[in-house]
Amino acid sequence: MVGVANEQNDPMVVINKLKFTYPGIDGHPPPGSVPLIEDFSLSLKSGERCLLVGANGAGKTTILKILGGKHMVEPDMVRVLGRSVFHDTSLTSSGDLAYLGGEWRREVAFAGFDVAIQMDISAEKMLFGVAGVDPQRRAELIKVLDVDLSWRMHKVSDGQRRRVQICMGLLKEFKVLLLDEITVDLDVLARADLLTFLKKECEVRGATIIYATHIFDGLENWPSHIVYVANGKLQLASTMEDVRKMSNLSLMVSYPSFCIDNLIYTCTVHSCTN
């Protein structure tokens, strides 16, 4: 039985031989189905930043959703801060575990803020309407994300709306943050500023971040770990170049020298169509 994490020493996130199959209409895995995720293990400590990479449909979002407590798995397969995320909802309601993904309304609600984004409301009202936030942190985030407080949410562009979303999702001091490609709508400068802020959150506050992305631009010095999620057989790599060769991801071709010291975990992720 795994206890509650002592954040100084214990891993913040532990995935232990994770196995997962999407349930069928009766709530159970269809007979004979191959698990989408199998034998996936990963452990991350305070301060670590993990990139989750892989082709479309590889299972990155599924893994983040499991980590965010949205899909039930055996309690010992996934622990965040020493607790089972699916069973211990205080992890998310307290803001210790935050999830920022593609769908605004749901993800923000999931992080504890149930706010309708498209209504006629100002960015200021949204960002100052969240209780229990350090005003200095809020001011820093507004600056980092270059949010204009007078923006009306029903009139802004997708990228501007996205900035407010991210700002909202980061207002509380999370311990573990799950990011499912949230930077697609951001321009290059905004993305770089955000990545710098997130790295600082890990280095200064000891937060742990898992970030699923296809965009490798500007990430050369960002991660401490890279996890490559792939269809089919067990994949093993020690550098991003290895990942590039195995995955044939065209985006990585532009970054052949992208390589860090501490790397790649192994896992088996099967495509649903296998």
Ligand X SMILES: Nc1ncnc2c1ncn2[C@@H]1O[C@H](COP(=O)(O)OP(=O)(O)OP(=O)(O)O)[C@@H](O)[C@H]1O
Residues lying near ligand X in the complex (CB under 6 A) are found at 22, 36, 54, 56-62, 271-272
Quote the CA–CA distance of 247 and 243 in Å, as a whole number.
6
Decide: 238 and 245 in contact? Cβ < 8 Å: no
Decide if 230 contacts 246 (C-beta within 8 A): yes
**Measured distance CA(52)–CA(225) in Å, rounded:** 9
Nearer CB in complex with ligand X: 45/70: 70
Nearer to ligand X, 46 or 62 (CB): 62
**Least distance in Å: CB of 21 to ligand X?**
9
| CB distance 177 to 100 below 8 Å | yes
Residue located via tokens 């499912």: 180
Least separation in angstroms between CB 34 and ligand X = 11
Nearer to ligand X, 122 or 271 (CB): 271
E-only strand ranges, 74-118? 78-80, 83-84, 97-100
For the chain, what is the radius of gyration of the CA atoms? 19
CA separation for the pair 205, 198 (Å, rounded) = 10
- In the complex with ligand X, the residue whose CB is nearer, 22 or 114, is 22
| Helix, coil or strand: residue 212 | strand
Nearest distance in Å: CB 138, ligand X: 30
Nearest residue (CB) to ligand X, 57 versus 82? 57
User: 77 and 15 in contact (C-beta within 8 Å)?
Assistant: yes
Beta carbon of residue 111, minimum distance to ligand X (angstroms, whole number): 19
Instruction: Return d(Cα 122, Cα 102) in angstroms, integer.
Output: 21
Nearest approach, Cβ of residue 54 and ligand X (Å): 5
Cβ at position 71, least distance to ligand X in Å? 9
Report in angstroms the alpha-carbon separations of 123 from 102, 120, 152: 19, 10, 6
Tell me whether residue 60 or residue 161 sits nearer to ligand X (CB atom).
60
